[in-house]
Amino acid sequence: MSTCLEPIRGEELLFLPLAAVPWYFAGERLLVVIDPRLAEDFGPFFSDSPILIVPEGEKAKSWDSLSLLFEDFLRLGVDRSWKVLAVGGGTVSDLAGFAAHLWMRGLSFSCAPTTLLAMVDASLGGKNGIDFRGYKNALGSFQRPERIFCDVTVLSSLDPVQFASGIVEAVKHAVIDGESYFSFLEALLADGGGAEAFSHKACHPESLKKLVTESQRIKTGIVDADPLEKGGRRVLNLGHSFGHALELETGLPHGYAVSLGMALALRYSLSKGFISQGEASRVLRLLEGFGLPINLSILADGALRSRVASSLYMDKKREGAAMNFVLPRGIGRVEVAKVPVEELRRFLEEAWR
Ligand SMILES: NC(=O)c1ccc[n+]([C@@H]2O[C@H](COP(=O)([O-])OP(=O)(O)OC[C@H]3O[C@@H](n4cnc5c(N)ncnc54)[C@H](O)[C@@H]3O)[C@@H](O)[C@H]2O)c1
């Protein structure tokens, strides 16, 4: 059993049809946490276990949802012999992982991610948590799940925006890792219909499996080297400094905001001569091909630019007057540098032109 005494042990990744996951826990006391939309389709797979339904989307990550889960744990007499399984996207696993970590100082926790974002990012690395008074992920802990069960066939029911939220993280992983994964993603784009007509529904399940495997390998490798985010893990923030600020100030979907954040980081690196035009264009073409926005004209609005710049000052990655900013230097080359926030603000004033 994973307990808080071993919060940063790496997870075991398994590709398994979702319908077969209950068999994995045969004979054990399993609690399933799921949202209402997914409960309709996937709940029946888990008919032998109590199913705890939490609100759909970001509303799941609230103090009230956490408290209601604990009420259910109490009602069911959950003790440390129980195992918790989150079935769903990143919101469900963030909430359920946090609840599992807190209850009786730590229950065994696993997840069956059903969004691409959760498969390639949210279920990995052990960060969990909830929002508090509008402050995203204000409360949380590090506890890596014991097992992650992936069934890529469930991704076919994702809408394109939700798929894009996951693919942007995969592109980020490829920029961090290098040519081999990057060119695989270019081939995946072609398999899915090419830049003009990409649809993830046209991608072969084996290609999606490889996508998830490679992204998991890259993220897990980075997290293993820096489980508590003291240094090296910061490269995973590529595109997220501007991305989070844009998400907050415009309400754009997370994946779209991170794509624009990557476009800004590339533009900033270009302005410094850190990356060649050819490599920057290749990354931008890939993002755009997957249907992600790269056009910075949204920043023509001066009031928005000011709000985005103010948000940068509130960023967790800021230390004093400087930001730990991830600079793309090429495909397979990124670097975390301390960049004055004031310099980033001035850059924003010009970047959209
Ligand atoms: N812990 C981490 O390291 C980490 C990393 C990245 C993101 N996150 C968190 O993840 C959350 C976002 O997660 P998300 O993007 O997975 O969104 P989500 O969990 O909100 O799910 C989005 C929507 O997709 C639906 N859905 C899920 N699977 C589906 C499927 N197979 N078919 C059709 N619909 C499906 C859900 O019902 C929901 O309506 C954010 O709260 C973010 O903070 C956490």
Closest ligand 1 atom to residue 127 Cα is: 1
Query: What pLDDT shows up at residue 10?
Result: 67
Question: What is the mean pLDDT of the segment spanning 164-178?
Answer: 97
Same domain, 79 and 225: no
* 29 found inside a domain: yes
Same domain, 47 and 86: yes
Same domain, 257 and 147: no
Query: What pLDDT shows up at residue 5?
Result: 37
Same domain, 167 and 150: no
* 6 found inside a domain: no
Q: Is the pLDDT of residue 75 over 70?
A: yes
Q: Which residues contact 53 (CB under 8 A, 6 or more apart)?
A: 34, 35, 36, 39
Task: Among 122, 156, 190, identify where a domain stops.
Answer: 156
Same domain, 225 and 339: yes
Q: Is the pLDDT of residue 122 over 60?
A: yes
Q: Is the pLDDT of residue 51 over 60?
A: yes
Q: Which domain holds residue 81?
A: 12-156
Query: What pLDDT shows up at residue 24?
Result: 94
Same domain, 139 and 210: no
pLDDT band for 202, please (50, 70, 90 cuts): very high
Same domain, 245 and 290: yes
pLDDT band for 9, please (50, 70, 90 cuts): low
* 3 found inside a domain: no
Q: Is the pLDDT of residue 7 over 60?
A: no
- Dump pLDDT digits (tens) for 322-342: 889 999 999 999 999 999 999
Tell whether ligand 1 has an atom less than 6 A from the beta carbon of residue 127.
yes
Torsion, Cα 17 23 25 29, to 10 degrees, reads: 120
- Rounded to whole angstroms, the maximal C-alpha distance in the chain is 62
Question: What is the mean pLDDT of the segment spanning 95-117?
Answer: 97
Tell whether ligand 1 has an atom less than 6 A from the beta carbon of residue 166.
no
Q: What is the mean pLDDT of the chain?
A: 93
Task: Among 119, 138, 156, identify where a domain stops.
Answer: 156
Same domain, 145 and 210: no
* 216 found inside a domain: yes
Residue with CA at minimum distance from ligand 1 atom 4 = 122
CA-closest candidate to residue 110, choices 11, 26, 20: 11
Same domain, 70 and 39: yes
Question: Domain with 200 in it: what CATH number?
Answer: 1.20.1090.10
* 264 found inside a domain: yes
Same domain, 120 and 249: no
Tell whether ligand 1 has an atom less than 6 A from the beta carbon of residue 36.
no
CA-closest candidate to residue 119, choices 157, 163, 185: 163
- The answer to whether 232 and 222 are in contact (CB under 8 A) is yes
Instruction: Provide the β-strand partners of residue 30.
Output: 83
Mutate to test the pocket of ligand 1, among 94, 128, 148 (most ligand atoms within 8 A of CB): 94
* 7 found inside a domain: no
Residue 291 — φ and ψ, nearest 5°? 90, 15
Burial 91-120 (b: 16+ CB within 10 A, else e): bbbbbbbbbbbbbeebbbbbbbbbbbbbbb
- Dump pLDDT digits (tens) for 281-318: 999 999 999 999 999 999 999 999 999 998 887 777 77
Query: What pLDDT shows up at residue 292?
Result: 96
Task: Among 156, 191, 222, identify where a domain stops.
Answer: 156
Q: Report pTM.
A: 0.94
- Dump pLDDT digits (tens) for 172-194: 999 999 999 999 999 999 999 99
Same domain, 323 and 244: yes
- Dump pLDDT digits (tens) for 126-138: 999 999 988 888 9
| Residue 295 to residue 124: CA distance in whole angstroms | 30
Residue with CA at minimum distance from ligand 1 atom 7 = 122
The total domain count for the chain is: 2
Question: Domain with 144 in it: what CATH number?
Answer: 3.40.50.1970
- The answer to whether 329 and 273 are in contact (CB under 8 A) is no
- The answer to whether 99 and 73 are in contact (CB under 8 A) is yes
Same domain, 249 and 134: no
